[in-house]
Structure 1
Amino acid sequence: MTTSTHLYGQLFDQLRQHSRVCDLRHLKALAWMVSALLYSGELNLAAWEPYVVSRATKAQSTERRWQRFMDNFRISVMAIYVPLVLAALSGWKQQRLYLALDTTVLWDRFCMIHLSVVCCGRAVPLLWRVLEHSSATVAFEEYQPVLRRARWLLRHHPDVMLLADRGFANQQLVKWLRQSHWHYALRLPCDVLIHTTRRYPWMVGVLYPPLGEARLYENVGLWLDGEHRCNLVVATVQGAKESWAVVTDEPPTLQTLWQYAFRFRVEELFLDSKSGAFELEDSRLRSAATLERLYLVAAIALLFATTQGMAVQLAGLRQQVDPHWRRGISYLKIGLRWLQGVIYKGRTLLPCVPLLPNDPEACFASLKAKHDYDDHIWFHRVRSVVCKPVSILN
């Protein structure tokens, strides 16, 4: 058995085990596409032919097979992927789940709404939706279905926190999070009105402290009416381009900033999808529905390679693919390098493991990167303020 068919067999077995309601023909085609993507590194239908074993003698026939999959409206992306990612999160019920919500734009024409799980220094796709929308800013009604589906899927996880940037901070989202009993850490734009100890509201940008200082506000009111009460942390971090203003439902501490910083893991996921690992923007597909199915191939590949990298770490084989003395690359890159070695160096394809809730070894590319991380967020002055609602006189 060749290494490509070995990888295909493991992928197909995993898909068949978890995605039982799907047509086996669809799962076979999907397993071949994921296998070809892992070996080629290109999200391009025409680039997968050398890595697929089939009876087709013409490259065009193979490409048409993938195109039929992408155009098939009967294929449910979530019915295939969700069981896989939930199985990978099977050991997380006693751990807090950090969900990062963000958007990315493709070719200034399509907007992908992305909800991912923060895991071991990176983010793993959970749910996504593609809209024909040229801006990265979308209305609450567009990403609410993604959040509602996630709430149902994660109903057995008692501790979930949503992380989102300034474009998502609105009254509808905060109300929905409270009704869903999810924790949150949301960054506010500088022009949002905040009710503190003053009689009248201030724009949050006025509250930004000097460099190296942080202020912790408890029980502030949001927006013009001030009805939404929460906690606020504003800080000006050394080396940051802008000051941060993060609202949370939990007690305001410096831990709030550390939690919100997990959101940047999804930026690295976008980088891996677009250029770091796979070339998402090199695909020739220009339809929202087909792009959702194309990203299904990428999401499974990202999940499989990440778990393969974790299996390499647990087996004590990391230094065979990572030149650093301590872990210096992500588990995704470790997994991809290991899989490349499976086909070119005869390495053993390791059994899949669930996503690790706790990182056994932090990732730093150098000692300087570790020192920069350790000293990245520090303050020489921290001030706490308790706000009480103030009635406005007519």
Structure 2
Amino acid sequence: MSGSTQIYRQLFSFLRQHSHYRDLRHLMTLGWMVSALICSERLCLSAWESYVPCRAKKAQSVERRWQRFLCNPLIDVHKLYVPLVLLALKNWRTHRLYLAMDTTVLWNEYCMIHVSVVCCGRAVPLLWKVLEHKSAAVAFEEYQPLLRQARWLLRQHPDVMLLADRGFANHQLMSWLQQSRWHYCLRIPCDVLLHGPRQCPREVRRLWPSKGEALLYRNVGLWDDGLYRCNLVLANIRGVKEPWAVITDESPSLQTLWQYALRFRVEELFLDSKSGVFELEESKIRCADALERLYLIAAVALLYSTAQGMAVHIKGLRQQVDPHWHRGISYLKIGLRWLKGVVHKGRELLMPVPLFTKDPQPCFASKKLKETLQQNLVLSYPLSTVQSFMSYGIQRSVRQSGL
């Protein structure tokens, strides 16, 4: 049995067992597409022919098979994928779940909205939606269905925190978060008006602290009406271009900055999807619905390869594919390299494991990068001591103030 066939059979087994999907033809096609993507690392339909055994003698016939899948309106993307990611998160019910929400633009034509789970230095897709929209800024009505679906899917997880950038901070989202009882860390723009107990409203930009300092505010009103109350952390961090203004429903502290910094893990996900690993931007697909189904293939490959990489780490086999003495590449790339070894070197195909709730070995590609991350606010660990405040660009003079 060839290595690609082994990968396909394991994928098909998981899809058939956990996806609750009745049409086996769709599962078989998806399994072969994911297997071919792992082997080729290209989200390009014409690049998969050599990795899929079939009776067709023309490459065009094989490619049409993939096109029929992408253009089929009966394909339920979330019904196929969501059971797999929930299975991978089965050990997280007693741990806080960080959800990062962000958007990315493809070819200046399509906007993809992501809701992802932050895990071990990366983000794993949970839900996504593609719009024919040229801007990364989207209205609340566009991503509200994703949030509602995520709340229903994660109803067994009592501790969920939403992380999002400035483009998502608005009245509608704040109202929804208050009703959902999710925690949140959101960055707000510098022109937002703040309402304190004693003074007239002031813009965020007029309150920035000095370089290397942070200000903590409690029970601050937002926007013109001051209706929504929250806690606020203002930080001016060395090595970061712009100061941060982060609102949260929890007690304000430097831990708030560490939590918000987890949002940047989704940038690594975009890099892996678009150019770093799977080259989504090389796809010739120009249809929002077809792009959602195409990303389904990438999402399954990302989840499966990450789980395979974690299994490699548990087995103590990481150094066979990672040249660093300590872990220097992501679990995704560890898994992809191992799976390619299954195809080309006859390695054993491991059983994927649930996603780690705590990273047993944080990833640093080099000592120089590790020192840089410690000096700036690309945070990897919670801030709890005076020494860590200094090493992450925040001085000891953290002031708790009132407006």
**TM-score band w.r.t. shorter chain:** over 0.9
1:67 aligned counterpart, secondary structure = helix
CA deviations on 1:290-328 (whole Å, 9 max, x unpaired) are 000000000000000000110011110000111111001
Tell me, yes or no, if the aligned pair for 1:210 and 1:236 is still in contact at 8 Å: yes
Work out the percentage of aligned pairs sharing the same amino acid: 67
What is the aligned partner in structure 1 of residue 398 from structure 2? 382
**Superposed counterparts of 1:315-334, under 5 Å:** 315-334=315-334
CA distance in 2, matches of 1:75, 1:179: 32
Letter in 2 for 1:250: E
CA deviations on 1:124-145 (whole Å, 9 max, x unpaired) are 0000000000000000000000
CA deviations on 1:257-299 (whole Å, 9 max, x unpaired) are 0000000000010000011110101111111000000000000
Letter in 2 for 1:379: I
2:43 aligned counterpart, secondary structure = coil
What is the aligned partner in structure 2 of residue 94 from structure 1? 94
Mean CA deviation greater in 189-198 or 116-125: 189-198
**Superposed counterparts of 1:70-109, under 5 Å:** 70-109=70-109
Letter in 2 for 1:56: A
CA deviations on 1:329-380 (whole Å, 9 max, x unpaired) are 1000111111111111111111111111110101011122222223332322
CA deviations on 1:52-78 (whole Å, 9 max, x unpaired) are 011111111100000000010001000
* Segments of 4+ moved more than 4 angstroms: none
1:99 aligned counterpart, secondary structure = strand
Letter in 2 for 1:383: R
**Superposed counterparts of 1:358-369, under 5 Å:** 358-369=358-369
CA distance in 2, matches of 1:175, 1:53: 52
CA distance in 2, matches of 1:9, 1:187: 44
Tell me, yes or no, if the aligned pair for 1:219 and 1:386 is still in contact at 8 Å: no
1:194 aligned counterpart, secondary structure = strand
User: How far did residue 21 of structure 1 move?
Assistant: 2.6
What is the aligned partner in structure 2 of residue 20 from structure 1? 20
CA deviations on 1:193-220 (whole Å, 9 max, x unpaired) are 1112442111111111110010000111
Mean CA deviation greater in 280-289 or 377-386: 377-386
CA distance in 2, matches of 1:61, 1:21: 25
User: How far did residue 237 of structure 1 move?
Assistant: 0.5
**Superposed counterparts of 1:150-299, under 5 Å:** 150-299=150-299
Aligned residues: 387
In structure 1, stretches of 5+ residues that fail to align are 388-394
User: How far did residue 181 of structure 1 move?
Assistant: 0.3
2:124 aligned counterpart, secondary structure = strand
CA deviations on 1:169-199 (whole Å, 9 max, x unpaired) are 0011011011000000000001111112442
CA distance in 1, matches of 2:246, 2:199: 22
1:126 aligned counterpart, secondary structure = strand
User: How far did residue 386 of structure 1 move?
Assistant: 4.2
CA distance in 2, matches of 1:204, 1:196: 12
Tell me, yes or no, if the aligned pair for 1:22 and 1:79 is still in contact at 8 Å: no
Letter in 2 for 1:226: G
1:284 aligned counterpart, secondary structure = coil
Tell me, yes or no, if the aligned pair for 1:22 and 1:80 is still in contact at 8 Å: no
TM-score scaled to structure 2, two decimals?
Answer: 0.95
In structure 2, stretches of 5+ residues that fail to align are 377-391
What is the aligned partner in structure 2 of residue 147 from structure 1? 147
1:98 aligned counterpart, secondary structure = strand
CA distance in 1, matches of 2:135, 2:20: 37
What is the aligned partner in structure 1 of residue 119 from structure 2? 119
CA distance in 2, matches of 1:68, 1:21: 18
User: How far did residue 227 of structure 1 move?
Assistant: 1.3
TM-score scaled to structure 1, two decimals?
Answer: 0.97
Letter in 2 for 1:20: H
Tell me, yes or no, if the aligned pair for 1:322 and 1:328 is still in contact at 8 Å: yes
**Superposed counterparts of 1:45-84, under 5 Å:** 45-84=45-84
Answering whether residue 310 of structure 2 is matched by residue 310 of structure 1, we say yes
CA distance in 1, matches of 2:140, 2:207: 27
Tell me, yes or no, if the aligned pair for 1:192 and 1:222 is still in contact at 8 Å: yes
Tell me, yes or no, if the aligned pair for 1:42 and 1:279 is still in contact at 8 Å: yes
Letter in 1 for 2:146: V
Tell me, yes or no, if the aligned pair for 1:193 and 1:224 is still in contact at 8 Å: yes
2:272 aligned counterpart, secondary structure = helix
What is the aligned partner in structure 2 of residue 44 from structure 1? 44
